[in-house]
């Protein structure tokens, strides 16, 4: 009974947080699927990463808010899918409701078969921007969670190194704590410029941070 009571309290607190969160309300008003869109929006507005004509890959895309934003940036006038100026490929382990003009692939990014499907979807085109909001299911065991996060970060960086145009960019989520220094070091090893962002839409209690790599070495 104690566990159930605690669970109810947690759920009630979460629902209250969602109902009172200004970013949640703004996302609903503007037609985005999640408040996370404003994290990418802030990074994009600061660095001017996204523009028409680009090839963009969205890793960990579900529920699709980042892909929605990318599509909007590639077609600011609301172009139909057939006239979309650019290409958006989204990937996630979970299903995602369709977004006009966005190619979605469902699969596990940690598996070679999924990576091969993603490469095939690109058809040999160089990628201008890779955005990744991927995060593992956290166990609460620090050493296990650090290893899981590190694996996803390394996969995202490896994918970027293989597919980005020379002046391309990678945006990926990491977490402050154990392993953070090594992720920053990895980015500095692979990219000419590295930026660190804690977007305003990230909750204060969250350890999430976004690393942006600009221009391959």
pLDDT at 14: 40
pLDDT at 59: 97
CA torsion angle 39 160 47 189 (round to 10): 110
Share of the chain above pLDDT 70, in %: 88
Edge-to-edge strand order for the sheet containing 164-175? 102-106, 87-92, 55-59, 127-132, 164-175, 208-216, 191-197
User: Distance from CA of residue 45 to its chain's centroid?
Assistant: 16
Residue-by-residue DSSP string for 153-208: HHHHHHHHHHHEEEEEEEEEEEESSTTHHHHHHHHHHHEEEEEEE--TTS-TT--E
Task: Please tell me the least confidently modeled range out of 83-87, 139-143, 153-157.
Answer: 139-143
Asked if residue 8 has pLDDT above 60, the reply is no
| Token couple for 77 | 């006038």
Q: What do you get for the CA distance between the two ends of the chain, in Å? A: 56
Average pLDDT over the chain reads: 88
CB neighbours of residue 94 within 10 Å: 9
Question: Which residue intervals of 21-141 are DSSP H helices?
Answer: 22-30, 37-47, 65-74, 112-122
Residue 205's pLDDT is what? 82
Q: What pLDDT score does 16 carry?
A: 43
Which residue among the candidates 6, 12, 41, 173 is catalytic per the annotation? 173
173 included as an active-site residue: yes
Considering the chain, what percentage of its residues have pLDDT values greater than 90? 71
Q: Is the pLDDT of residue 10 over 80?
A: no
Lowest mean pLDDT among 101-105, 167-171, 205-209: 205-209
Q: Which residue has the tokens 């078969």?
A: 113
Beta bridge partners of 90: 58, 104
Q: Which of 148, 137, 192 is nearest to 170 (CA)?
A: 192
Q: What is the pTM assigned to this prediction? A: 0.88
**What's the pLDDT score for residue 177?**
82
Q: Looking at residue 81, what is its pLDDT?
A: 55
Tell me: pLDDT of 199 over 70. yes
Q: What is the pLDDT of residues 97-139, one digit of tens each?
A: 999 999 999 999 889 999 999 999 999 999 999 999 998 877 7
pLDDT band at 82 (very low <50, low <70, confident <90, very high): low
What are the phi and psi torsion angles at 132 (to 5°)?
A: -140, 115
């Amino acid at each position: 009974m104690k566990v159930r009571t605690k669970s109810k309290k947690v759920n009630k607190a979460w629902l209250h947080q969602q109902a009172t969160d200004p970013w949640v309300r703004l996302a609903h008003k503007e037609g985005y699927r999640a408040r996370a869109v404003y994290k990418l929006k802030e990074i994009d507005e600061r660095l001017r990463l996204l523009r028409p004509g680009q090839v963009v890959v969205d890793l960990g895309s579900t529920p699709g808010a980042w892909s929605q934003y990318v599509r909007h940036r590639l077609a600011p006038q609301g172009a139909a899918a057939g006239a979309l100026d650019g290409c958006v490929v989204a990937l996630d382990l979970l299903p995602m409701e369709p977004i006009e003009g966005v190619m979605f692939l469902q699969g596990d990014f940690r598996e070679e078969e999924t990576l091969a499907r993603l490469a095939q979807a690109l058809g040999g085109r160089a990628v201008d921007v890779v955005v990744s909001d991927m995060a593992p299911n956290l166990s609460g065991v620090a050493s296990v969670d650090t290893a899981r996060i590190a694996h996803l970060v390394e996969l995202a960086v490896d994918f970027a190194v293989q597919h980005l145009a020379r002046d391309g960019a990678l945006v990926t989520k990491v977490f402050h704590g154990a392993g953070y220094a090594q992720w920053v070091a990895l980015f500095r090893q692979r990219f000419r410029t590295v930026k660190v962002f804690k977007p305003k839409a990230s909750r204060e209690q969250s350890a999430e941070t976004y690393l942006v790599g600009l221009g391959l070495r």
